[in-house]
Structure formats: structure tokens, C-alpha cells
Structure 1
Amino acid sequence: MTERIWEDLLSERDEQVIEKAGYDKEGASSWESRGMGENPMVLVIDMQRLIVGEDVPILDAIEEYRTAMGEVAWNAIDHIEPFLDFARENDVPVTYTRVVPSSYDDPDHPDLDIVEPVAPEPGETVVDKSYASAFYGTDLLSRLVRGGHDSVIIVGNSTSGCVRATAVDAKQNGLSVALPQECIFDRIEASHKIGLLDLWMKYAEVLEAEEVREWVETL
């Protein structure tokens, strides 16, 4: 049973609404927001130096890059790295995104590099994007269609920003979405919890990483 990290934010009425409206079992009523698919791709969202920073408290990391999350990111990397190893061992393709801010004239600037513990392996795709969603202005959907993928497993950051936008667009393009919650992070704890709650209610399966592994092993 997944430990729902947002439950400490819910009032008694919130809990009653979720249960009575069936969000805890069925998700959104207007479309199938639950389900895992049969041929997933892992999407690694924006694990770059200017976002990850050094493995130090976030307030110290911000001194180098205002977007850096420091130990918040590195705590997630401790889970992302073995999850990616598992995906590769089980022949689940891994695709990366890289956000290239308009403030950077050089798309090859070292600040934009994906950090080493979770860096792409030879042959893995890196999709550059300019906005939050990995689908907007990119060829990601075409890659998923060509590969016959019906679902995505999203890891990376940030829960309330690029992960959310990518998950919503994935669902709107007919894909199932799974979020291993230990592998996702945000600089604001409240945004992280609320973002996962919203995604779980309407767009995605939010599970512990071990539960996602168990699902992959059944494919």
C-alpha cells in the first residue's frame, strides 16, 4: 500500500470528498486517469547541473544557481539512479529532457549538462525543450508513437512544474502515466505534496518506486 505523502495536508472534509467521489479508487471521472499500460518509456525530466547543484542544503545550493535544489535533488537521485538501472535491465527505454533557458546563448553550456549519476547512456535520447512540458515544441510524442509506447514513467523535477506539465500532456495524448514518488522532487515541500495529490486525483498513478518496479516485472 502506497504511503500517501500528502495526507498530512488533508482536512477531514477533504478525505471524505476524495473517498465519496471515488478519487481514491478511480481517479478522474471524465477520462481513465488510472492504469499503467503495457509498453512504457521512462522520461527523466531536467536533471541538469543548474537545477541539481551541489549536494548541500538547498539554501546553500541557491547561492551558486538560483534554480538549484541541492540535497533535495540529491536525495531523489539516490532513488532515480537505481531505478534507471532497473529500467535498462528490463529493456524499458529511457529518454531524457533538458530545458534550455532563453538566458543561455550556448545550448552546450556546462550548466545545462545532465548530472553524472543519472546521465544518459550511449544511444539514449535527450530531448531539448524551451517550456515546462516535454511535449511542447518537441518530437517526443512522435518518438513514443514510433516505439509503440502506451505509457510513461516520469522521474525528475519539478513536481509542480515540468513533471506536472509533462504528465498532463501525456494523459491528454492518450498515454498512461506512472510517477514513482521517491524519484520526483520540488524545491517547495508544499508544492511537491500538493502537486502529487493533484496528479494522483486526475492524471496519474502515484506509487512508491518499488511498486512501479513490480509492475514493470509483470510486463
Structure 2
Amino acid sequence: MTERIWEDLLTERDKQVISKAGYDEEGASSWESRGLGENPAVLVIDMQELIVGDDEPILDAVEKHRTAMGEIAWDAIDYIEPFLDFARDHDVPVIYTRVVPSSYDDPDHDDLRIVDPVAPADGETVIDKSYASAFYGTDLLSRLVRGGHDSVIVVGNSTSGCVRATAIDAKQNGFDVLLPQECIFDRIEASHKIGLMDLWMKYAEVLETEEVEAYVEALDD
């Protein structure tokens, strides 16, 4: 059973509301928010040098890049890297995004490269974006439709920012959304936990990475 990492932030009344209103069993009341789909693609959100940084405490990492998350990101990479290998082994397509800030004139700047442990394999798609959602101003929707995908598995960062925006847009475009919680991260712990909880209540299924892998394996049966 999935460990709900946001439980320690909830008051007793919060827990009662979630249970009594059925969010723990059914998710959103206005649409199906807990579907898993039968043909997923993996979206790897913004695993770039200026966001990941060196494997060091975040307070040290931000001295080089104010957006860097240091060891918070690298802790997630310990899960993301093997999960991407797992997805490839099961023929689940992997699609990457890169955010290209307006302050960068060179889209090939080293700061914008995807860090080596989770870098794209040969032939995998990398989509550049300017805003939080991987769908806004990109051809991601067209790619997913052409591929016959009905769901997305989202990994990367940040939980409260680009992951959240991408997950909501995916749901609003008709895709089921699955979040392996160890593969997602944020610079602020409270934002991470609350962001995951909000997405779980309204837009996505949140599972432990091992549970996501079991779901993917079951698709082969």
C-alpha cells in the first residue's frame, strides 16, 4: 500500500474530509482522476543542469544556480534512472522536456543540458518549452495522440510547478496521469507534499515507484 507522504501535514479534520468525501477511494468527483490507461508514455520533466546542480546540499547548490536543488534532485535521480531503464525495457516511450528560460540566448548552453544519469537515449524526443506545462506551446499533445497513448507517467520536477502544470494539462486533454512519488521532487518539502496531495485528490494517481513498475509489467500480460 502506498505511503502517503503528505499525511504528516494534515489535521484530523483534513483526514476526515478526505475520507468522508471519498477522495481517498475515488479522487475527483467531476471526472475520472484515478485511471491508469493501457498505453502510457513517460514524460521526463526538466532534468537539466541549472535545475539539478551538483550532488550537494541545496543551500550550496543554489550558490551556482538559484534554481538548483542539489541532493534533493540527486536523491530522485537514484529512482528516476532505473525507472527509465525499466520503461525502455518494456517498450514504454520516454519523452523529455527542457525549459529554456528567456535569459538564455543559446539553447545549447551547458546549463540547459539534461544531466547524464537520466539523459535521453538515442532517438528519444526532447521538447523545448518556455512555460511550466509541457503541453503549452509545444507539439507534445500531437505526439501523444499520434502514438496512440492514453496515459502519461510523469517524473522530474518540480512537484508544485512544471510537474503540476503538466499533470493538470494532461488530464484536461483526456490522458490518465500516474506519478511515481520517489521520481518527483521540489525544492520546498511542504510544496512537494502538498503538490502531490492536491494532484492525487483531483488529477492523478500517486503510487510508489515499485507499484508503477508492477502496473507497467501487468500491461504485458
TM-score, structure 2 as length reference: 0.99
1:177 counterpart SS class: strand
Deviations 1:48-105 (A, max 9, x none): 0000000000000000000000000000000000000000000000000000000000
Aligned-residue Cα RMSD (Å) equals 0.3
Q: Distance in 1 between matches of 2:32 and 2:5?
A: 23
Distance in 2, Cα, partners of 1:217 & 1:35? 16
Cα distance in 1 for residues equivalent to 2:137 and 2:57: 34
Q: Match for residue 122 of structure 1?
A: 122
Q: Does 1:92 align with 2:119?
A: no
Report the 3-state secondary structure (helix = DSSP H, G, I; strand = E; otherwise coil) of the residue aligned with 2:63: helix
Q: What residue in structure 2 maps to residue 147 of structure 1?
A: 147
Give the count of matched residue pairs.
219
2:21 matched residue in structure 1: 21
Amino acid at match of 1:174: G
Q: Percent identity?
A: 84
Instruction: Give, in angstroms, the shift of residue 170 of structure 1.
Output: 0.1
How many Å separate the matches in 2 of 1:26 and 1:144?
A: 26
> Is it true that 1:162 corresponds to 2:140 in the alignment?
no
Q: Which residue of 2 aligns with 1:196?
A: 196
In 1: Cα distance, 2:38 partner to 2:56 partner: 39
Corresponding residue for residue 80 of structure 1: 80
| SS of 1:37 mapped into structure 2 | coil
Q: Which residue of 2 aligns with 1:62?
A: 62
- Partner of 1:46 in structure 2? 46
SS in 2 for 1:143: helix
Deviation at 1:145, TM superposition (A): 0.1
Residue 137 of structure 2 aligns with which residue? 137
- After TM superposition, give the deviation of residue 35 of structure 1 in Å: 1.0
The structure 1 segments of at least 4 consecutive aligned residues displaced by more than 2 Å after TM superposition are none
Q: Deviations over 1:108-130 (max 9, x none)?
A: 10100000000000000000000
The one-letter code matched in structure 2 to 1:120 is P
> Partner amino acid for 2:64?
E
One-letter amino acid of the structure 2 residue matched with residue 100 of structure 1: V
- Give 1:176's aligned amino acid: D
Shift of 1:32: 0.4
| Structure 2 residue identity aligned to 1:213 | E
- In 1: Cα distance, 2:144 partner to 2:25 partner: 28
Give unpaired runs (5+ residues) of structure 1.
none
Q: Deviations over 1:119-160 (max 9, x none)?
A: 000000000000000000000000000000000000000000
Using the TM superposition, give the Cα deviation of residue 202 of structure 1 relative to its aligned residue in structure 2, in angstroms. Answer: 0.1
What is the distance in 2 between the residues matched to 1:65 and 1:18?
38
Match of 1:111 in 2: 111
Task: Report the AA paired with residue 13 of structure 1.
Answer: R
Q: In 2, Cα distance between the equivalents of 1:183 and 1:89?
A: 18
- Mapped to 1, the partners of 2:25 and 2:105 lie a distance apart of 47
| Aligned-partner SS, 2:17 | helix
Question: 1: distance between equivalents of 2:16 and 2:53?
Answer: 40
